[in-house]
Amino acid sequence: MVKAMPMPWVEAVLRGQRVLARANADGSLVAEGGRVEIRYKPNDGRAYRAAMGNLQLVPGAPLRADDAVAPGEAIARESRDARPSSKTVPAAPAHAWVAYTDGACSGNPGPAGCGVVLVSPAGKMHEGFEYLGQATNNVAELTAILRAVEWGPAEGPAFVVHTDSQYAIGVLQKGWKAKANQELVARAKEAVRRRGVRLVYVPGHAGVPLNERADQLAREAVQTGRTRRAALPPPESSETNAPVE
């Protein structure tokens, strides 16, 4: 009897969280019944299974050997995609659009930019950034949220936007009085209200993958002085309303 060769692991993103997923030698995902074995951390022996359609491979990520990840013990499925209960970032509804936003500023004020990562209910990511010229960090954070709403779907499923700016959440959804940037605050607040966006705080520079990516995009805007809008497919595309297992 030929002994089965150990299968490697590959990095993937599951609803904004970077995970390790079972893969073939060519890097493609290994699915059984449409679901893929995943781990949230290499040394975490809890073995979860996620719908293959909800996983997006990280471009250029190297394969990891089978023995680089702890042996797993199957965890009962508690939701459409099981997740550890101790996650730093609260889980968004399965059908929601999700965004991660961040602002960057070289000096305060100084050359500023914002970055946005949009994730559709089907798990497809769209990235964008904008150079803002001379601005403050608070302006960059507010603009990032505004652009996420403007670049995202105008209507449809729930929309959850993550930001590491307590200030932005405060002036937009907690009733804090804006002493500066009043025009920008008013525009962003109206856009968030009109679209029914829920703002969620995520700690900055804490290893949350898509928050880190939004930060990279914001810094790219500052370094290059360029803008690249996140482009979504037409509204009638199945991506917005794709069913999620």
- Tell me which residues are annotated as active site: 102-103, 141, 164, 205, 215
Residue 241 burial (10 A CB sphere; 0-12, 13-18, 19+): middle
Report the distance separating Cα 70 and Cα 9, nearest Å.
Answer: 11
Report the distance separating Cα 27 and Cα 159, nearest Å.
Answer: 31
> Cβ neighbours of residue 147 under 8 Å, at least 6 residues apart?
101, 114, 116, 128, 130, 230
Q: What is the DSSP string of 3-60?
A: PPPPP-EEEEEETTEEEEEEB-TTS-B-EETTEEEEESSTT--EEEEEEGGGEEEPTT
Coil, strand or helix: which one is 162?
strand
Report the distance separating Cα 149 and Cα 170, nearest Å.
Answer: 17
